Amino acid sequence: MSTPAVLTQTAVETIAWTPEGVVMIDQTRLPNETSFVTCRTHTEVAEAIRKMVIRGAPAIGVAAAMGVALGAQKSQNLEADMPVICETLAKTRPTAVNLFWAIDRMRGVYEANKHLGPDAVRARLIEEAQHIREEDIAINEAIGRNGAPLVPDGKTVLTHCNAGALATAGYGTALGVIRAAVEMGKKIDVFADETRPFLQGARLTAWELQRDGIETTLITDNMAGHFLKSGRIGCVVVGADRIAANGDVANKVGTYSVAVLAKENGVPFYVAAPISTLDLSLESGDEIPIEERAGKEVTHMRGVAVAPEGIKVANPAFDVTPNRYVTAIITERGVARAPYTESLRKLAG
């Protein structure tokens, strides 16, 4: 991975396919520094996903698709290399199902077009990866349109982690709903949980909403209950990494606590996610693999130790919110409500 001098646009793009390679905004350096990395091989893309240079379920999916296209571009023996390329990308992060969904889709395009010869199939893979990126933006705008009517006017929306433009190809899922509500003329503001330990709320959600001029207040995660009880929060909107057939939702660790607190205080709890985040092969959230990340993310902040050396650490990156806490799941095809086993299957078609 190297840092390019390219991409001097005003609207920051999360990820782009360029003649030099796959260019991503470096989310590990925001908000202090707006810099970009260029991945020139599929292994560099895999490394960027693992290190969370790019993160957020839909963005990981787009990156993986572009990674497959890059790998194919460099390969002299596609038939032998395709499984290795796909496997390398699939091993990066286990929870976000969009990663596997995107790789499967690219594998399908390869299988359907390999009879055309290596050059044609490489071109088709690049085209498909770019299509997945563009499609994602359109999907998020549709999620926004479907979700905006649910957001109470004149109230505050609480969100956890970053399910925004940075977590997708653009516009965002949960933040897409917020953006669409603002575009509809609703007078809302946002409370953003800082989201320990990786600080996606403080570093990324606060950054992108501030850039958009959407009034945002940053709170630490342990303040959520206090504000949910206060009556000022009209609803909670979060994203998702994987949704099981029964509507159980895996999302950034801490989401479950917010959902329980929301129910306790009668505040609607909405999940905004594309259909590609549904994993109907899993009956319940108990089957969702939860990524365990390095303890250093908890013991250190920006390289500075905040805990004694040698302390034992647990760092699950996600938790599962049981469906009974989820008021509705907002997708590009419509809004699903309980019983989710029926409503999600209907939407998935």
Catalytic residues: 241
Give the nearest distance from C-beta 110 to ligand MRU in angstroms. Answer: 26
Give the nearest distance from C-beta 194 to ligand MRU in angstroms. Answer: 13
For ligand MRU, the closer CB: 58 or 67: 58
For ligand MRU, the closer CB: 125 or 146: 146
Cis status of the peptide bond prior to 31, with omega within 30 of 0 = yes
Give the nearest distance from C-beta 57 to ligand MRU in angstroms. Answer: 4
Segment contacting ligand MRU (CB under 6 A): 35-43, 49-57, 185-193, 305-313? Answer: 49-57
Q: Residue 297: which of 289, 305, 287, 308 has the closest Cα?
A: 305
- Residue from 56, 147, 201, 285 that binds ligand MRU (CB under 6 A)? 56
Binding to ligand MRU, residues 80-119 (CB under 6 A) = 96
Site string for ligand MRU, 313-332 (x = CB under 6 A): ----x---------------
Specify which residues 336 forms β-bridges with. Answer: 329
Q: How is residue 310 written in tokens?
A: 């040698």
Alpha-carbon distance of 85 to 347, in angstroms, equals: 32
What DSSP string describes 24-55? EE-TTTTTT---EEEE-SHHHHHHHHHTTSS-
Site string for ligand MRU, 162-181 (x = CB under 6 A): -x---xx----x--------
Binding to ligand MRU, residues 142-161 (CB under 6 A) = 161
Across the chain, where does the E strand assignment appear?
Answer: 15-18, 21-25, 36-39, 156-159, 189-193, 216-219, 233-238, 242-244, 249-252, 269-272, 278-279, 300-301, 304-305, 318-321, 328-331, 334-336
CA dist list (Å): 181 to 115, 178, 237:
47, 5, 12
Alpha-carbon distance of 193 to 89, in angstroms, equals: 30
Query: Are 288 and 282 contacting, i.e. CB atoms less than 8 angstroms apart?
Result: yes
For ligand MRU, the closer CB: 159 or 323: 159
Alpha-carbon distance of 52 to 62, in angstroms, equals: 14
Contacts with ligand MRU: how many residues (CB under 6 A)?
Answer: 17
Q: Is 240 in the site for ligand MRU (CB under 6 A)?
A: yes
Binding to ligand MRU, residues 6-45 (CB under 6 A) = none
**Neighbouring residues of 286: CB distance < 8 A, sequence distance ≥ 6:** 248, 320
Give the nearest distance from C-beta 188 to ligand MRU in angstroms. Answer: 19
Tally Cβ neighbours within 10 Å of residue 43.
17
- Residue from 24, 48, 57, 99 that binds ligand MRU (CB under 6 A)? 57
For ligand MRU, the closer CB: 72 or 323: 323
- Residue from 58, 170, 234, 247 that binds ligand MRU (CB under 6 A)? 58
Q: Which residues bind ligand MRU (CB under 6 A)?
A: 55-58, 96, 161, 163, 167-168, 173, 200, 239-241, 251-252, 317
